[in-house]
Chain A
Amino acid sequence: MRPITYLRATDTASAVTAVSTDPTSDFLAGGTTEVDLLRQNVLNPRRLVDINDLPLTDVEGTPAGGVRIGALARMSDVAADPVVRERFPLIAQALELGASAQLRNMASMGGNLLQRVRCSYFRDAESPCNKREPGTGCSAVEGFSRGHAVLGTSEHCIATHPSDVAVALVALDAQVRTTGPHGERTYAIDDFFLLPGDSPHREHPLEHGELITGIEVPATPVARHSHYLKVRDRASYEFALVSVAAALSVVDGVIADVRMALGGVATKPWRARRAEDFLIGARVQRDDFAMAARVEMADARPTPMNAFKVELAQRAIVRVLDLLSDGTGDGSEPGPGAGSPS
């Protein structure tokens, strides 16, 4: 680890000033990804400005029926919050299926949105990687790409966005609030995550020193009937190969409202607008679910190694819609049962 200095900020304004006036300073919140990347020489700040003392930890329901989440609220606290669980089950589920209990106790919500990709070529600090060192090329395109993205990719980067909860937030049209050297800003969350294009090192529109202060989820009645499905090899403690965050409202056998976003398959948390458009007004039937899924994945550009994700994502979409239209969708992830002598 290279020599590094440390400053513990006591208020938001001084934290923002400290970082925005020094190109070699970065914020430090939970540190659950950042410290790993420092050790691995992927990130190179000379100074860390610790923001953990800032008063940004509240989680509160809004009178209109939404929720405001402070940027420093821990994942575990948000997942356990009664308002979140009642109004937005998919947020609580996405959080609880992410990381491990220990990491969730430490990791902040703002940090979660900014977590870096899991691409092993990005993280090894040696392979060519346009995200880490612009212009050096993408090792994943021709390399080991089983976990990589099939949507929103470019020839310069195919790394998957790793967050679970961001997928739920994108489905819900959340807003990201920030304070920076030029004052306060609010971003629609779908605009907050950038596609790699020809500048994969730019993952979000924040300027240096701009700090996420909170996340606001607007009132979304349909979200009370929602589900987050995460498909992965290991039963716990693994990033998604495919995930689906969805909320569904059915009136008289017809889909009245639907929200859907995908994780594990795209370079950003992927709002499934095409599927939503197809489903609104459609009847509840499996063929339509499958068609909606197919429409959403039509532009997928897989590598030979991750081609299965195109099919898997469609099946996961259908599964979640099945679950939600059965009326069973707000429970936890269905398990395989304990088994018994045959």
Chain B
Amino acid sequence: MTTMPTTTPSAIGQPLDRVDGRPKVTGSAHYSAEIPLPDMAYAYVVGSRIAAGRVSGIDASAATAEEGVLAVLTHENLPRIAEQPPLVPSLAGTAAPGQTYFPMQDDIVHYAGQQIALVVADTWERAQHAAHLLRVSYEETAPVTTLDQGRDRAYVPERIFGGWIPGRIERGDVEAGLRDADVRVEGTYTYAANHHNPIEPSSTTALWDGDTLLLYDSTQGVNATQMTVSRLLGVPMQRIRVIGHYAGGSFGCKAMIHAHPTLAAMAAREVGRPVKLALTREQMFTSVGHREEQEQHVTLGATREGRLTAIRHHKLSPTSPFDDWAEPSLGTSSQIYACPHYEGVYRLFRANTMTPTFMRAPGEASGMHALECAMDELAHELGVDPVELRLRNHTDVDAMSGFPWSSSGLRECYERGARRFGWSGRDPRPAMRREGDWLIGTGMATATYPVAPLANPQRARARLYADGTAVVQAATPDFGTGVATVMTQVAADGLGMSVERCRFENGDTDLPNIAAAVGSAGAGMISAAVHSAATALRGQLVNKAVADAGSPLHGADPVDVVVRDGVMTAGTASEAYTDLLRRNVQPDAEALGQWNPPAHDIPYGMMTFGAQFAEVAVDAELGLVRVRRMTGAFAPGRVLNAKTARSQLMGGMLWGLGQALLEANHMAPDTGRWANSSLAEYLVAVNADAPDVDVELIEVEDDIVNPLGVKGVGEIGQVGVAAAIANAVHHATGRRVRKLPITIEDLL
């Protein structure tokens, strides 16, 4: 590890307002479907009506006869792809297709909504209208889409999740552990499929200039788009530039590079005009992945004193015909409690679905629900307080690898969360508290989310101009997390300048490479690169000053130099950056920063921890559950911006509420189509559902994960919320509902 000048954080951690707040609320921030280009054409995607079979014919005569229609592309005339890259999570920093299947290469239909045609016209309305005039005929076969249809044909995959995770995880002898247990609890948990539904549907605008391609893409990683489209089209990287300054939320549906950016590029080449391709809200349900419907089975064994002897955690879920994908729901249950025997097994079956994908807290959102509901049952069975049960099974090492945590803070999360919530003195008996028609209950759960393992170096560039303003650059887009704001703060502290004089420039593949900001890794990896670039530039300037006979700092030891507000000071001597550059007639100074992530085999467990508490009111007669308040205590390492971090955690907790009580898409078993693909029928929490949300931040130091010790806040806020709510529903009513979402009919 290289030594860097030490930083005195003054901007980091401050609740700085979003630097892009004004452009966003005034509309001057241009999203990828808002780029005005002359001679623009518009592509409309046509999805398959059927879920299984083949397209036997597409009569495009009526569509092509419409005024303004430029092209109708189908499997018969869409260019073949150059190469199908393998499915690898975009965090790896390589090509990252959402699935190892590209549409319109043949006539087979694998799932409903699969792209079967692309209509390009001179206006969006004409493209849409012409698309409805296509006469598509199908040969239909019976689809397989639901757990009940696929259960009998399930298999244990060798690896899942783009090859990153084994299909079976074991330690000890789980049978023996269960045999030795004094107490066992066991339950089957079912989960509806979930869709991300960011406010901005995915969109790409494609522009060819000769054989050079420019894409404006709403994505979590412009480099990922560049690499994926390059491989699929066979166009060299040097001829593809991707810009994605803003994205209106993602939650994982823009983490992988789905087909539409490549389709937009193909269409633009075909019609010789720039093409804008924007997915409709309905198409978002079949084009960018989802969290798969699933069933989990958890068995816990414990001693009478409440020490776990065995955890068995199995999962069954549908995957696509192309990929072995399951969100990794079983990972953290093997790691976070001291327990000698563990068995986790994934079972998959091939179904008529696209490959599911990352969705906020992929794996943990469901897996920690099952585990933490089972822990609540165990606490109830043993007569031990739920917080106390977790403390009795607390581990200071990763229970799977045996390595110590790089940092934890979990005990403090339990303690401070419980104190803020008012947990102590809780009467554990269910169905004892009533206010009018409402039964009141409280519940809690542990939250954990892994610090994502990174593969490749992350880079940023810092440039100081002679007028004392600085630009710091990295390729990452800001998809709503506030990364442009916090990186301005990191840059300011690294340079020793005020945030007003620093500007963070991002969202362009011409800038230094950053992997896609997924898996809560964005803040950690980008801050590492930005910090590295900023401190390298500061070091360069300090070294220049002390070596410069004309500088008041001449001869000072660089380690004695501190920089504040752009002024270098050693003892009583000082000089501003601007004076140094002007005296040397130097227009600017620049440094590249690179951060090499820790090796995959370092002897540490890396995990973010938290604790969730919820109070619910249940109208047991009408089956209504309303959450009255929630407290979440989290230890996300260093907090770069108290305001944006708190907002993200609060948003995560409200996502957890939605997962617990509202969010579900249902597959119609006969047709293999999603039954509620609209925001009227796919329910997400609205303001009226949102209770008081109390977020407690517990800063823990961590010098293993990355230079600033940032563990991330993107997903941890959601983990455990659904379990805390389900456990509170049990406390209120005495009923265990082992399914998500918990809806009215479950409680009648």
Q: Write the residues of chain A forming the contact surface with B, with a CB cutoff of 8 angstroms.
A: 1-3, 41, 118, 120, 123-124, 126-127, 139, 142-144, 146-147, 231, 233-239, 241, 308, 311-312, 315-316, 319, 334-342
Q: A143-B668, A319-B621, A337-B628 are in contact. Are A237 and B686 (CB under 8 A)?
A: yes
B619: chain A residues at CB < 8 Å are 336
Q: A234 contacts B628, CB within 8 Å?
A: no
Q: A241-B744, A336-B628, A337-B438 are in contact. Are A312 and B623 (CB under 8 A)?
A: yes
Q: B622 contacts A339, CB within 8 Å?
A: no
For residue B436, CB closer than 8 A to chain A, the reply is: yes
A308: chain B residues at CB < 8 Å are 623, 744-745, 748
* Choice from A3, A234, A315, A339 contacting B689 with Cβ under 8 Å: A234
Expressed in whole angstroms, the minimum distance between the Cβ of B62 and any Cβ of chain A is 12
| Cα separation A147 to B675 with both chains bound (whole Å) | 11
B617: chain A residues at CB < 8 Å are 336-337, 339
| Cα separation A338 to B691 with both chains bound (whole Å) | 8
Give the interface segment out of B257-265, B420-428, B478-486.
B420-428
The 8 lowest CB-CB distance pairs between A and B, nearest first, are A341-B422, A339-B628, A336-B617, A144-B675, A236-B688, A308-B745, A235-B688, A336-B626
Q: A2 contacts B132, CB within 8 Å?
A: yes
Residue contacts A-B, CB under 8 angstroms, 26 given: A3-B129, A120-B676, A123-B678, A126-B49, A127-B673, A139-B671, A144-B675, A147-B681, A231-B622, A231-B744, A234-B662, A234-B683, A312-B748, A336-B438, A336-B617, A336-B624, A336-B626, A336-B628, A337-B438, A337-B617, A339-B440, A339-B617, A339-B628, A339-B691, A341-B421, A342-B615
For residue B666, CB closer than 8 A to chain A, the reply is: yes
| Cα separation A235 to B681 with both chains bound (whole Å) | 14
A338: chain B residues at CB < 8 Å are 628-629, 691-692
For residue B209, CB closer than 8 A to chain A, the reply is: no
For residue B233, CB closer than 8 A to chain A, the reply is: no
* Choice from A235, A316, A336, A339 contacting B692 with Cβ under 8 Å: A339
| Cα separation A143 to B671 with both chains bound (whole Å) | 9
Expressed in whole angstroms, the minimum distance between the Cβ of A140 and any Cβ of chain B is 10
| Cα separation A237 to B688 with both chains bound (whole Å) | 9
Instruction: From A124, A334, A342, name the one whose CB has the most chain B CB atoms within 10 angstroms.
Output: A342
Expressed in whole angstroms, the minimum distance between the Cβ of A231 and any Cβ of chain B is 5
Q: A236 contacts B748, CB within 8 Å?
A: no
B426: chain A residues at CB < 8 Å are 342
| Cα separation A124 to B673 with both chains bound (whole Å) | 11
A334: chain B residues at CB < 8 Å are 436-437
Expressed in whole angstroms, the minimum distance between the Cβ of B747 and any Cβ of chain A is 10
Expressed in whole angstroms, the minimum distance between the Cβ of B428 and any Cβ of chain A is 11
Q: B626 contacts A235, CB within 8 Å?
A: yes
| Cα separation A1 to B129 with both chains bound (whole Å) | 5
| Cα separation A206 to B380 with both chains bound (whole Å) | 61
For residue B670, CB closer than 8 A to chain A, the reply is: yes
Contact code string B606-631 (vs A, CB < 8 Å = 1, else 0): 00000000010101011110101100
B629: chain A residues at CB < 8 Å are 338-339
A142: chain B residues at CB < 8 Å are 670
A147: chain B residues at CB < 8 Å are 681
Expressed in whole angstroms, the minimum distance between the Cβ of A25 and any Cβ of chain B is 19
* Apart from the given pairs A235-B688, A308-B623, A342-B433, 18 other A-B contacts in the complex at a CB distance below 8 Å: A118-B680, A120-B675, A127-B671, A139-B671, A231-B624, A234-B683, A234-B688, A234-B689, A236-B689, A237-B688, A308-B745, A315-B748, A319-B621, A334-B437, A337-B628, A338-B628, A341-B422, A342-B426
| Cα separation A127 to B426 with both chains bound (whole Å) | 52
A1: chain B residues at CB < 8 Å are 125, 128-129
Q: A315 contacts B622, CB within 8 Å?
A: yes
For residue B685, CB closer than 8 A to chain A, the reply is: yes
In the complex, residue of chain B having the shortest beta-carbon distance to the beta carbon of A241: B744
| Cα separation A335 to B125 with both chains bound (whole Å) | 44
In the complex, residue of chain B having the shortest beta-carbon distance to the beta carbon of A100: B686
Q: B748 contacts A311, CB within 8 Å?
A: yes
A342: chain B residues at CB < 8 Å are 422-423, 425-426, 433, 440, 442, 615
In the complex, residue of chain A having the shortest beta-carbon distance to the beta carbon of B681: A120
| Cα separation A254 to B180 with both chains bound (whole Å) | 65
Q: A143-B675, A308-B744, A337-B435 are in contact. Are A238 and B683 (CB under 8 A)?
A: yes
Q: A233 contacts B666, CB within 8 Å?
A: no
Q: B678 contacts A339, CB within 8 Å?
A: no
B675: chain A residues at CB < 8 Å are 120, 143-144
In the complex, residue of chain A having the shortest beta-carbon distance to the beta carbon of B679: A237
| Cα separation A242 to B609 with both chains bound (whole Å) | 41
Expressed in whole angstroms, the minimum distance between the Cβ of A209 and any Cβ of chain B is 26
Expressed in whole angstroms, the minimum distance between the Cβ of A97 and any Cβ of chain B is 11
| Cα separation A319 to B436 with both chains bound (whole Å) | 12
Q: A233-B661, A339-B615 are in contact. Are A144 and B748 (CB under 8 A)?
A: no
For residue B77, CB closer than 8 A to chain A, the reply is: no
A2: chain B residues at CB < 8 Å are 129, 132
Q: A120-B675, A120-B676, A342-B615 are in contact. Are A143 and B745 (CB under 8 A)?
A: no
Expressed in whole angstroms, the minimum distance between the Cβ of B280 and any Cβ of chain A is 9
B572: chain A residues at CB < 8 Å are none
In the complex, residue of chain A having the shortest beta-carbon distance to the beta carbon of B614: A339
Expressed in whole angstroms, the minimum distance between the Cβ of B462 and any Cβ of chain A is 45
Contact code string B439-465 (vs A, CB < 8 Å = 1, else 0): 010100000000000000000000000
| Cα separation A308 to B619 with both chains bound (whole Å) | 15
A3: chain B residues at CB < 8 Å are 129
B132: chain A residues at CB < 8 Å are 2, 41
| Cα separation A1 to B435 with both chains bound (whole Å) | 52
B422: chain A residues at CB < 8 Å are 340-342
In the complex, residue of chain B having the shortest beta-carbon distance to the beta carbon of A41: B132
Instruction: From A233, A237, A241, A337, name the one whose CB has the most chain B CB atoms within 10 angstroms.
Output: A233
A312: chain B residues at CB < 8 Å are 622-623, 744-745, 748
Expressed in whole angstroms, the minimum distance between the Cβ of A327 and any Cβ of chain B is 15
For residue B100, CB closer than 8 A to chain A, the reply is: no
For residue B303, CB closer than 8 A to chain A, the reply is: no
Q: A234 contacts B685, CB within 8 Å?
A: yes
Q: A118 contacts B681, CB within 8 Å?
A: yes
In the complex, residue of chain A having the shortest beta-carbon distance to the beta carbon of B125: A1
For residue B28, CB closer than 8 A to chain A, the reply is: no
For residue B706, CB closer than 8 A to chain A, the reply is: no
* Choice from A126, A144, A236, A239 contacting B668 with Cβ under 8 Å: A144
Contact code string B670-702 (vs A, CB < 8 Å = 1, else 0): 110101111011010111110110000000000
Expressed in whole angstroms, the minimum distance between the Cβ of B208 and any Cβ of chain A is 28
Expressed in whole angstroms, the minimum distance between the Cβ of A304 and any Cβ of chain B is 11
| Cα separation A75 to B436 with both chains bound (whole Å) | 31
Q: A233 contacts B628, CB within 8 Å?
A: no
For residue B543, CB closer than 8 A to chain A, the reply is: no
B438: chain A residues at CB < 8 Å are 336-337
For residue B551, CB closer than 8 A to chain A, the reply is: no
Expressed in whole angstroms, the minimum distance between the Cβ of B199 and any Cβ of chain A is 15
Expressed in whole angstroms, the minimum distance between the Cβ of A126 and any Cβ of chain B is 5
Q: B622 contacts A319, CB within 8 Å?
A: yes
B744: chain A residues at CB < 8 Å are 231, 233, 241, 308, 312
B626: chain A residues at CB < 8 Å are 235, 335-336
Expressed in whole angstroms, the minimum distance between the Cβ of B741 and any Cβ of chain A is 8
A336: chain B residues at CB < 8 Å are 435, 438, 617, 619, 624, 626, 628
| Cα separation A238 to B128 with both chains bound (whole Å) | 28
Q: B670 contacts A315, CB within 8 Å?
A: no
Q: A1-B125, A1-B128, A337-B617 are in contact. Are A233 and B683 (CB under 8 A)?
A: yes
| Cα separation A239 to B748 with both chains bound (whole Å) | 19
For residue B743, CB closer than 8 A to chain A, the reply is: yes
| Cα separation A2 to B661 with both chains bound (whole Å) | 39
B685: chain A residues at CB < 8 Å are 234
Q: A233-B661, A319-B622 are in contact. Are A144 and B666 (CB under 8 A)?
A: yes
| Cα separation A107 to B698 with both chains bound (whole Å) | 48
A143: chain B residues at CB < 8 Å are 668, 670-671, 675
| Cα separation A265 to B689 with both chains bound (whole Å) | 24
B49: chain A residues at CB < 8 Å are 126
| Cα separation A41 to B133 with both chains bound (whole Å) | 11
